[in-house]
Structure 1
């Protein structure tokens, strides 16, 4: 029997957060990335709720129907972690299992360091734990952008990518989702020069929908949100990366002791080009709480959409272990 999915707002840490909920039981909080909203998790929410858990997927600040502060510093992980802790307080829970991908993954990693007592366990997709950089990330990106186009550097310019991406949100989303998937090789975007190049110049034209892993209706939901809000809120997460670096000086040598599972698409671009020379070795060296690593064949960055059944099965197995409850 299907479990109804409901939506509401929570006032937390100075923002009005839009939240989708489904099911009852131990809370499982899903954290999305760019350019997504909490809706990106709707397939996982249904599976987790049916198995006897309380699935919660907020639109993180700057996205969807959640508040979008104007100050870039408001998008630092420390601030968003405050939102999530307020959400836990709202539902009367001491802790939850946190699931994250992309920026949501980085958020979950930092959450395990800042508030380990609120984390039952972590399930992280595609973005492995990476120690604090030796200098400001924007400086590293600017150096790389001297050699080739790099979206991380391009997104640092206020108003530039904002206008480009908002001109046709649906087209941009289709192109970037396809480019990040296992059906394309995202690092081909590095073959373009940075000077005079926009993001749409380097992204491939997307095939017509539906795809094997994304329906036209699902893209309509996501595009509808960004047509209304634009992309500045999401881009501000990139622009707050240096602030994250400044705020994590005390955690430069910290390791993740929370019980953790990591799964990734074998064709994921972050694992190939953005997480160091040997990301799995770095992960294992810095996450003593790591219980297992799972590779999903032929999948890319949106692994939970590209291989939904495989990811959902792993989620349920890992949740059962983390919460000490058998899936039902």
Structure 2
């Protein structure tokens, strides 16, 4: 069965999805900078093995609507997108797969959308306890010592103008910087003052790389040249709003079955260290599997697709058995 691309009404917004296969539902949620295209290696494989796979362009990206207000990227809105997606496709429950900001959202789905989640497969971003400090306050404190993209992205219009001005340069360099081929923490040697993101990102080697071709990069460049980056940046700007939501709705343990996958060179792993994995195990009693993929960075589903696909299929088959 070939993949079908369409736009559907999920409630507040219209969402572009790529769908392939028949069987138990699996929803793939990308992060920044991403598209449904981030899952191009997973869609056909999972579909060929008996699953109905749905990869949306998440709110703010690609062919999905892009609200201007960061408050419309808070947890209430993004959870409503996922529930609306299931409702529109007449799916009762799904396995949700998350990466980057997609993973942050997916960690909350069992609590915020009870009864709609069979299991979670999470890439790169472990679950951690909500900080007692407002995110923007914490980012500013770190940015006083060195460049921090989380802080730089907060001011509307600033990063947007820089990234929109050179989509090809930004995407090539950020994909490389976050991959297993570079040590992202070296960026922290740069001060925040006077620097934009393109000032601190490394120059990338010529394409193709083992995991990214020129044609694949061109797909991202063409899309983000058309849409701009503001929709993606609004996921960062929503962090304070999500923090306030969680003061009224504290995190609960995740008890559904969970598989966690990360690369040993993922910057998230390098920055957060062993403590984040300890928090993951403490807050996710449903954690059934942990996988560390050698040589992979942040985009593990693209950098090591065969290994990620094997792990995902084994976990899904175990659920069905």
After TM superposition, the score normalised by the length of structure 2 is 0.98
Which of 105, 127, 130 aligns to 2:128? It is: 130
For residues 10 and 103 of structure 1, what CA distance do their matches in structure 2 show?
A: 22
Of residues 253-262 and 234-243 in structure 1, the stretch that sits farther from structure 2 once superposed is 253-262
Structure 2: give runs of 5+ residues left out of the alignment: none
Alignment of 1:73-88 (within 5 A): 73-88=71-86
Which of 43, 46, 50 aligns to 1:45? It is: 43
Which of 270, 276, 279 aligns to 1:279? It is: 276
For residues 168 and 54 of structure 1, what CA distance do their matches in structure 2 show?
A: 36
Residue 251 of structure 1: how far off its partner (Å):
4.0
For residues 278 and 114 of structure 2, what CA distance do their matches in structure 1 show?
A: 23
Q: Deviations over 1:190-222 (max 9, x none)?
A: 000001110001101111111101111111111
Alignment of 1:49-198 (within 5 A): 49-198=47-196
Q: RMSD over aligned Cα, in angstroms?
A: 1.0
For residues 202 and 75 of structure 1, what CA distance do their matches in structure 2 show?
A: 27
For the 8 Å contact 1:131–1:252, the answer to whether it is kept is no
Aligned in 2, Cα 1:176/1:225: closer, same or farther, shift over 3 Å? same
For residues 259 and 71 of structure 2, what CA distance do their matches in structure 1 show?
A: 30
| 2:204 counterpart residue number | 206
| 1:317 counterpart residue number | 314
Aligned length: 321
Residue 249 of structure 1: how far off its partner (Å):
2.0
Structure 1: give runs of 5+ residues left out of the alignment: none
Residue 250 of structure 1: how far off its partner (Å):
4.0
Q: Secondary structure at the match of 2:194?
A: coil
For the 8 Å contact 1:300–1:306, the answer to whether it is kept is yes
For residues 154 and 315 of structure 1, what CA distance do their matches in structure 2 show?
A: 35
For the 8 Å contact 1:95–1:120, the answer to whether it is kept is yes
| 2:238 counterpart residue number | 240
For residues 276 and 200 of structure 1, what CA distance do their matches in structure 2 show?
A: 26
Residue 78 of structure 1: how far off its partner (Å):
2.1
After TM superposition, the score normalised by the length of structure 1 is 0.96
For residues 202 and 154 of structure 2, what CA distance do their matches in structure 1 show?
A: 22
